A and B are shown apart, each in its own frame.
Chain A
C-alpha cells in the first residue's frame, strides 16, 4: 500500500549550509601539497615506462621463480624462526600492553603524575617503527633472533596498547561505579568491571598484531634481526633472484593463510 502524496506540498527546507572554509581550504592544501611533493621527488610516468622496457634480472627471476625453495630444508629453519619470533613477540608484548593500557586511563590510575608518565611512554614507543626497533637492537645486542624478538616485543606493545586504549575510552562506566560501590580495590575493579568489557576487542587486537608481526619479521631479517628476512637478504646479496622469488611466494602463501584464519577468528570475537 502506498500513502497518497498528491496534494500534500513538501515543506521548504531551510537554506543548505555552505561547505565550511576549513573544508575548502583543507582540500586545496592537500591537492597543492601532492603536486609540490611529486615535483620535488622528480616523479615522472616517463621514467617508469622506459625502465620497464630494460632488461632486468630481478623481473626475470620473478617470471621463473625457483619453486624448490618452498620445500628446501635450508629455508625451513628461518621460516620456523620467523613464526617463533612472531608468536613470542606478540605474546609478551600484548600481555604487558593490557595493564599498560589500563593504567593509562583515568579510572584505572587515579594518580595524574604516573598516568602522565605512562601515556608519554606509550606515545614514545608508538612513534618508533618496527624497522627502527630492529636496527636499534641489532646495534645493541648484535645480529640474530634476539634483536628481532626485542623489536617485535616493543612494536607489539605499542600497537596493542594504542588499540586497547582507544577501546577503553568507549566502555560503559556503570559497572565501574558498581564495583567501586562494593568496596573492591582498584585491581579487582579493573578485572571484574573493565576487562570483561574489552576482552573480545583485545583478543582481536592480539590476533591482528600477530598478523602484522609475521609480515614485519620478513623485513626484520634485512637488517640482521633473524627470521626469513635473513634468507631473503642472503639471496638478494648473491643476486639469486629465482630463489628469492620462490621464497617470497612461499612467504606470501604463509601470510595469506594465517591472515585468513585470523580474520575468521576475529569476526567471531566481535
Chain B
C-alpha cells in the first residue's frame, strides 16, 4: 500500500512540484495519473521509490516511512518497486538479457555483478520476465537493435525481474506510436491483474487513461484535482485537469488520424 499524507515537493530553485497531496493506493490497484507536463506526475511517481525526496509531509510505502529510510533501507524498498521509463533507459550497448538482469541487482552479491557472473536462479527469473512480455527470443540481441515497442517490453521485463509488489511507469508510451502504445498498456494491465502488482502509470492522453485505468488521479500544478474511476471522467473533469476543454490534440486516437 502507498499512502501520501500532506506530501509536498519543492525543487531547488523554488518550483513547487507537489502541494499537500494526500492519496492512498491499495495493493493490486491499477492507477493512472493524468495531467499536463509539469503538473507533478513524474515527481509523484519518483517520490514513491525515493528518487525524489519529499520536502514535507509523509509517505508510506509497503509499511515503510520513505522519508526516514537509511540508504540500505532505501535500496531494500526500491528492490520491491519496479520502474518503467518514457525513454526506456536501457543500456543500448549490451544484450537484452543483461538489461533485464539489472532487475536482479539487489539480490545478487556485488562481486558477482562486477564479474558479470549471475546465479542460474536469477537468470531464470530474468528469462521468465522476458517470457511474460513475449520477447524471450531477443535475449541475446543488443538493446540498440530493437524497435521502440520491443525496448519498452524489455523495460517492463527489467521491472518484472525485480519480482516487485509495485510497478511505477513514467509516461511509458510517450515515445511510441498508437498501436504499440496499446500493446504496452495491455501488458501493464495484464501483469497487474495476473500478478496482483500495484501499478501506477503516468499518461498524458486521457482516452488511453480511461481505457485502461481502474482509477484515475488528475493532477494540476501539483495539486489533486480528480480522483475516481475512469467512467466518472467527463468533460468537466477534463477542464479541471487541463484548464481548458477537450480538443483533438488531447486524445491519442484523433491525433493519430491527423
Q: Which residues of A contact B (CB under 8 A)?
A: 172, 174-175, 177-185, 187-189, 191-193, 196-197, 199-200
Residue B98 contacts which of A178, A188, A189, A196 (CB distance < 8 angstroms)? A196
- Asked if A174 and B88 sit within 8 Å, CB to CB, the answer is yes
Closest residue on chain A to residue B88 by CB atoms: A174
- Size class of the contact patch on chain B: 20 to 34
Q: Which residues of B contact A (CB under 8 A)?
A: 49, 51, 74-83, 85, 87-94, 98, 101-103, 105-106, 108, 110, 113-114, 116, 158, 162
A contact residues around B51 at 8 Å (CB): 177, 180-181
- Asked if B93 and A196 sit within 8 Å, CB to CB, the answer is yes
Q: How far is the CA of A197 from the CA of B51 in the complex (A)?
A: 22
A33 to chain B minimum Cβ distance, whole angstroms, is 43
B198 to chain A minimum Cβ distance, whole angstroms, is 16
A28 to chain B minimum Cβ distance, whole angstroms, is 42
Residue B93 contacts which of A188, A191, A200 (CB distance < 8 angstroms)? A200
- Asked if B113 and A178 sit within 8 Å, CB to CB, the answer is no
B contact residues around A196 at 8 Å (CB): 91, 93-94, 98
A contact residues around B102 at 8 Å (CB): 175, 178-179, 182, 184, 192-193
B89 to chain A minimum Cβ distance, whole angstroms, is 3
Q: How far is the CA of A220 from the CA of B114 in the complex (A)?
A: 36
- A177 and B89 in contact (CB under 8 A), knowing A184-B106, A188-B113? yes
B43 to chain A minimum Cβ distance, whole angstroms, is 14
A197 to chain B minimum Cβ distance, whole angstroms, is 6
- A197 and B93 in contact (CB under 8 A), knowing A181-B51, A182-B106? yes
- Asked if B105 and A188 sit within 8 Å, CB to CB, the answer is yes
Residue B76 contacts which of A178, A183, A187, A197 (CB distance < 8 angstroms)? A183
Q: How far is the CA of A185 from the CA of B75 in the complex (A)?
A: 7
B contact residues around A184 at 8 Å (CB): 75, 102, 105-106, 113
Q: How far is the CA of A175 from the CA of B93 in the complex (A)?
A: 11
Q: How far is the CA of A213 from the CA of B105 in the complex (A)?
A: 38
Most buried by B among A174, A175, A180: A175
- Asked if A174 and B89 sit within 8 Å, CB to CB, the answer is yes
Residue B113 contacts which of A174, A180, A192, A200 (CB distance < 8 angstroms)? A192
A contact residues around B77 at 8 Å (CB): 183
- Asked if B78 and A197 sit within 8 Å, CB to CB, the answer is no
Q: How far is the CA of A193 from the CA of B102 in the complex (A)?
A: 8
A contact residues around B85 at 8 Å (CB): 174, 177-178
B49 to chain A minimum Cβ distance, whole angstroms, is 6
- Between A and B, 7 residue pairs with Cβ closer than 8 Å are A177-B89, A181-B51, A181-B81, A181-B83, A183-B105, A184-B106, A191-B116
Q: How far is the CA of A197 from the CA of B99 in the complex (A)?
A: 12
